[in-house]
Structure 1
Amino acid sequence: MAIINGTSGNDIRVGTLGADTMNGLGGNDTLVGLAGNDVLNGDAVLGPYGNDNLIGGAGNDTLNGRGGNDWLIGGTGNDILNGGTGIDTADYSSRSIHGIGYVGATAAVTVNLNITGSQNTGGSGFDTLSSIENVSGTNFNDTLIGNGASNVLAGLGGHDTLDGRAGNDRLEGGDGNDILTGGDGNDTLNGGNGNDTIFGNSGNDRLTGGAGADSLTSGVGSNVFVYTAVSDSPAGGGRDTIQDFVASFDDIDLRGVDADATQAGNQAFTFIGSNPFSNFFGIYNPGELRFANGVLQGNTDFDGAAEFEIAFANGGSTLTINDLLL
């Protein structure tokens, strides 16, 4: 058994193949336990003393973040992750920190921040999470569930299910066909790549489908549907569907979309109501946005076909310029 101490500075300490006790002391430290049943302490005392990376590795490890905003990676084994004060993250992915690679879960994980005792994560053993605000998943099909705090849940790869529950949460689907549910609070929901299904539920939410043919349901509240590129909702079968748009309460934010591909920079759309795209001797005016028959269409070049479309399942018959952020 080894006792490995850091300094008051920013340290990187790597343990042994045995059962180690590692103390970061001050600074923003990275502690790597390797094999064995290790105890990793980010700081000497409670308080905002350092934002630490604690990597358990193999074995049944105890990770104590204590002060600061810490990143806790239990690795394989049945681990105890105690974030302490600050905004702390339990990470089940496989990645590298400061050039040190580590292996996270070996299969999909299910992590519920409402459970205070030991929980079967599936792909990463029986873990006990305490004072953890955020969870980062894997490239498998994960289920991540928040609690009453303001959580960040990141699905990464795979077809994930993310549920923020109460609090003002941020849900990041990543790659795959994900299901995101905001729950209570004012949530930010980003589907990422894939054909995602997003539910805002209650609160004033921001819903971004990202790439893929997404289904967006805002729920109650004053909500914003955000688009940042034509590729977020291309015309035809790849377009998004907004299930429950309520005029005068919800908004469509298109300020990040370049409405005119023929010019440099990010050009804004011009809304022309239900009129057809402007045509001058067969040359059409790029940058026009029209709404008819339950579909919002944008033309970004000189032809008469829309490159950008959003479908409204409820028809969106009362959508006006006042519902658009251009």
Structure 2
Amino acid sequence: GFGDDILRGGAGADMLNASSGADLMYGGDGDDDLNGGDGADQMFGDAGNDTFLAGAGADLMSGGDGDDRMDGGDGDDVITGEGGNDRLIGGAGADLMDGGDGIDTADYSAGGAVGIDMITNTTSGAATGDSLVSIENLIGSAFDDVLAGNSEDNTLTGGAGGDTLIGQSGFDTADYSASTGAVTVQFNSTLANPTAAGTGLGGDAQGDTLILIERLVGSAFADTFLGGELGDTFVGGGGADVLTGNGGVDTAEYSTSSAGVTITLDPVAMTLGIGGDAEGDQLTGIENVIGSAYADLLRGGAGANRLDGGAGDDTLAGGADADRLIGGAGTDTADYSASASAVGVALFASDDPNLVTTGSGGDAQGDQLSGIENLIGSAFNDTLQGSAVANRLEGGIGNDLLRG
């Protein structure tokens, strides 16, 4: 009704709808929808991924466990995400948004231009008066925003408009995955001037300025990413993307691909990706690769490469030099069939990337392997040793020593 109501959900997915008045709402366990309406409401979730929507009024929201979406509406709201990876929307008014535990996002996409500095906790524009606590990620408006992170690993999504994205300290990401057109981003950072501003063109990147950003997430279209002299990470996404590392140790990441990828690196020449989000990608000056959750084939070049298969049954071939081969989850294979001399590798039974075994001889010399279950040797006299789990050891031709 229109008075001050008390609404309680139970276990399961509940929908609680209040009207005007100062309402008290308890979602309980399950994925609940709590609609407070106007008035100064108090809304409490619990375990589960809950959705909160308030109207006008100074509301109090507490998400509980789970990945919650919390929209305070108009008024000076206090929104606390608590556990889980929550999305907090303050709406109009001077709001306190506390993400709590997890990787939490303050979302300003529905309003006007905002200015936010999470180190100094200063806000301007449509965010004026807001206070952000335990927030890791920011989503800006469709206008010209200034989004500055903190000491955490932040993801900054400027949206449309000519935005300024400042990572500050931490390993920070500029996210263009929602762009409705292809983007071009060029990093201009150098060893002498790591804070030199990068620039954006096209789609949501048009007019953007990027400072102290280490990682780029592209759109579903054909994006172009040009790195600086520092180590950059590129997530091209869908589309035939151009990923150019320039200086530094650069990474092509395919962790969001919906299918396995095949990548062959070269220290100088451009190479083409195959499969999943890598299909048609052009990679130049890329040293490291992060694969998908599926069965990937990742080949290194003549230099030192880091190949991380992720989940899935991956095949990793580092090539020459001292490479880092990380199998991750799944049944993964280190392939030395192209080595020009014999190799020696003894496996260690663990998916922990910090627990490694070191190879010797040929292309295995100096390689560090973790999360690898299977080995393929060279055409020479290899020594291959398995671990405490089930292994497949293929010596190839040559007089090999295989120990299970």
Q: State TM-score, norm by structure 2.
A: 0.49
Does residue 143 (structure 1) correspond to residue 146 (structure 2)? The answer is yes
Q: Which residue of 2 aligns with 1:109?
A: 114
1:160 CA displacement: 1.9
Q: Which residue of 1 aligns with 2:402?
A: none
1:135 CA displacement: 0.9
**2: CA distance between counterparts of 1:254 and 1:26?**
33
Q: From 207, 219, 233, give the equivalent of 2:229.
A: 219
Q: Which residue of 1 aligns with 2:29?
A: 9
Q: Per the alignment, in what secondary structure is the counterpart of residue 126 of structure 1?
A: coil
Q: Which residue of 2 aligns with 1:34?
A: 55
Contact 2:146 2:164 in 1 (8 A): yes
Runs of 4+ in 1 over 4 A off after TM superposition: 176-184, 189-192, 194-202, 205-215, 223-231, 249-255, 265-271, 307-312, 321-325
Counting matched residue pairs gives 248
Contact 2:175 2:216 in 1 (8 A): no
Contact 2:154 2:167 in 1 (8 A): yes
Q: State TM-score, norm by structure 1.
A: 0.59
Contact 2:172 2:215 in 1 (8 A): no
1:83 CA displacement: 1.0
Question: Closer, same or farther in 2 for the Cα pair 1:206/1:124, shift >3 Å?
Answer: closer
1:80-229 counterparts in 2 under 5 A?
A: 80-93=96-109, 104-105=110-111, 107-116=112-121, 119-120=123-124, 122-173=125-176, 175=179, 193=203, 205=214, 216-221=226-231, 223=232
Identity of aligned residues (%): 33
CA deviations over 1:19-59 (Å, ceiling 9, x no partner): 1111123332111111111111112xxxxx22221110111
Question: Closer, same or farther in 2 for the Cα pair 1:16/1:270, shift >3 Å?
Answer: closer
Contact 1:173 1:191 in 2 (8 A): no
Q: Which residue of 2 aligns with 1:66?
A: 82
**2: CA distance between counterparts of 1:220 and 1:267?**
25
Q: Which residue of 1 aligns with 2:377?
A: none
CA deviations over 1:290-325 (Å, ceiling 9, x no partner): 96xxxx698xxxxxxxx998999xxxxxxxx74799
Contact 1:181 1:198 in 2 (8 A): no
CA deviations over 1:145-180 (Å, ceiling 9, x no partner): 111111111122222221212112222145487878
Q: Which residue of 2 aligns with 1:282?
A: none
1:192 CA displacement: 7.8
Contact 1:143 1:160 in 2 (8 A): yes
Contact 1:20 1:37 in 2 (8 A): yes
**1: CA distance between counterparts of 2:37 and 2:210?**
46
Question: Closer, same or farther in 2 for the Cα pair 1:26/1:157, shift >3 Å?
Answer: same
1:3 alignment partner AA: D
1:67 CA displacement: 2.0
> Which runs of no fewer than 5 residues in structure 2 stay unpaired?
1-20, 255-259, 273-279, 286-300, 308-404
Contact 1:4 1:13 in 2 (8 A): no
Question: Closer, same or farther in 2 for the Cα pair 1:269/1:92, shift >3 Å?
Answer: same
Contact 2:59 2:76 in 1 (8 A): yes
Question: Closer, same or farther in 2 for the Cα pair 1:14/1:209, shift >3 Å?
Answer: closer
Root-mean-square deviation (CA, aligned residues, Å) is 4.4
2:62 alignment partner AA: N
